Structure 1
Amino acid sequence: MATIKEIARIAEVSSSTVSRVLRQDMSFSIPHETRRKVIDVARTLNYRAKKNRKSMGTERVNDWRIGLVIWCSEQFEFSDPFYMTIRQGIEKECEKHGVSIHRIFRWIEDVSPALDFSGLNGVIVVGKVEADILLQSSHSEVPIVYIDHHGSSQYDSVQFDLAGAARCAMERLLELGHQRIGYMGGTSYIRQHDSIQYIEDERQTVYMSMMRERGLFRDNSMFIGSWGADEGYRLMKQAIQQGDVPEAFFVASDPMAIGALRALDESGIKVPDQVAIVSIDDIDLSQYVTPPLTTVKVYTEEMGVTAVKLLVDRFLGRELPLKVTVPTELIIRNSCGST
Structure 2
Amino acid sequence: MKIATIKDIARIAKVSSAAVSRVLNNDMTFNVPDDTRHRIMETASKLNYRRNERKQKNEPNDMQQLKFGLVIWCSEQMEYSDPFYLSIRQGIEKECVKHGINISSVFRFMDESNTNIDAHQLDGLFVIGKVHIDIINKSTRTRNIVSIDYVLSDEFDSVMFDLPKATRQALDHLLQLGHRKIGYIGGISYIRTSEGKMFNTDARQKEFEVILKEIDLFNPNYVFVGDWRAEVGYELMKQALEAEDVPTAFVIGSDPMAIAALKAVSESNYKVPDDIAIVSIDDIQLASFVTPPLTSIKVFMEEMGGTAVKLMADRMRGRELALHVTIPTKLLMRKSCGADTADT
TM-score past 0.5 threshold: yes
- Percent identical residues: 49
Q: Distance in 2 between matches of 1:184 and 1:248?
A: 11
Root-mean-square deviation (Å):
2.6
1:327 alignment partner in structure 2: 328
Q: Distance in 2 between matches of 1:24 and 1:314?
A: 14
Q: Secondary structure at the match of 1:136?
A: helix
Tell me, yes or no, if the aligned pair for 1:24 and 1:62 is still in contact at 8 Å.
Answer: no
Instruction: Give 1:307's aligned amino acid.
Output: A
Q: Distance in 1 between matches of 2:128 and 2:194?
A: 16
Gap runs ≥5 in structure 2:
31-49
Q: Does 1:210 align with 2:211?
A: yes
Tell me, yes or no, if the aligned pair for 2:161 and 2:329 is still in contact at 8 Å.
Answer: yes
Tell me, yes or no, if the aligned pair for 2:73 and 2:131 is still in contact at 8 Å.
Answer: yes
Q: Distance in 2 between matches of 1:95 and 1:188?
A: 32
Q: Distance in 1 between matches of 2:18 and 2:93?
A: 23
Spell out the pairing of 1:61-80 with structure 2 (5 A cutoff): 62-80=64-82
Instruction: Give 1:43's aligned amino acid.
Output: K
Displacement of 1:113 in angstroms is: 3.3
Residue deviations 1:13-66, cap 9 Å, x none?
Answer: xxx9xxx9xx9542453544899xx98943259x9xxxxxxxxxxxx8723221
Q: Distance in 1 between matches of 2:66 and 2:304?
A: 20
Return closer, same or farther for 1:244/1:320 CA change in 2, 3 Å cut-off: same
Displacement of 1:119 in angstroms is: 2.5
Tell me, yes or no, if the aligned pair for 2:18 and 2:66 is still in contact at 8 Å.
Answer: no
Return closer, same or farther for 1:333/1:149 CA change in 2, 3 Å cut-off: same
Tell me, yes or no, if the aligned pair for 1:129 and 1:151 is still in contact at 8 Å.
Answer: yes
2:120 alignment partner in structure 1: 118
From 42, 51, 61, the equivalent of 2:54 is 42
1:102 alignment partner in structure 2: 104
1:280 alignment partner in structure 2: 281
Spell out the pairing of 1:12-51 with structure 2 (5 A cutoff): 24-27=17-20, 28-29=22-23, 31-32=26-27, 41-44=53-56
Displacement of 1:140 in angstroms is: 2.3
Q: Distance in 1 between matches of 2:170 and 2:304?
A: 21
Instruction: Give 2:300's aligned amino acid.
Output: Y
Q: Distance in 2 between matches of 1:92 and 1:187?
A: 31
Instruction: Give 2:243's aligned amino acid.
Output: Q
Displacement of 1:236 in angstroms is: 0.6
Q: Distance in 1 between matches of 2:138 and 2:51?
A: 33
Q: Secondary structure at the match of 2:70?
A: strand
Residue deviations 1:127-156, cap 9 Å, x none?
Answer: 01111111122x423411000001101100
Gap runs ≥5 in structure 1:
5-15, 48-59
2:175 alignment partner in structure 1: 174
1:52 alignment partner in structure 2: none
Tell me, yes or no, if the aligned pair for 1:43 and 1:61 is still in contact at 8 Å.
Answer: no
2:161 alignment partner in structure 1: 160
Q: Distance in 2 between matches of 1:184 and 1:162?
A: 15
Residue deviations 1:171-193, cap 9 Å, x none?
Answer: 00001010000000000011111
Tell me, yes or no, if the aligned pair for 2:91 and 2:303 is still in contact at 8 Å.
Answer: yes
Q: Distance in 2 between matches of 1:213 and 1:296?
A: 22
Q: Secondary structure at the match of 1:191?
A: strand
From 83, 86, 95, the equivalent of 2:85 is 83
The alignment's TM-score, normalised by the length of structure 1, stands at 0.84
Q: Distance in 1 between matches of 2:63 and 2:204?
A: 44
Structure 1 ranges of 4+ moved more than 6 A: none
Q: Secondary structure at the match of 1:166?
A: helix
Q: Secondary structure at the match of 2:130?
A: coil
1:247 alignment partner in structure 2: 248
Residue deviations 1:99-140, cap 9 Å, x none?
Answer: 111111111223223221133110000001111111122x42
Residue deviations 1:155-174, cap 9 Å, x none?
Answer: 00001111011011000000
Residue deviations 1:267-301, cap 9 Å, x none?
Answer: 13111110000010000000111111111100000
Q: Distance in 2 between matches of 1:265 and 1:72?
A: 30
Instruction: Give 1:164's aligned amino acid.
Output: K
Residue deviations 1:277-333, cap 9 Å, x none?
Answer: 001000000011111111110000000011111112222222111111111111111
Between the two proteins, the alignment pairs up a number of residues equal to: 306
Tell me, yes or no, if the aligned pair for 2:92 and 2:308 is still in contact at 8 Å.
Answer: yes
Tell me, yes or no, if the aligned pair for 2:160 and 2:326 is still in contact at 8 Å.
Answer: yes
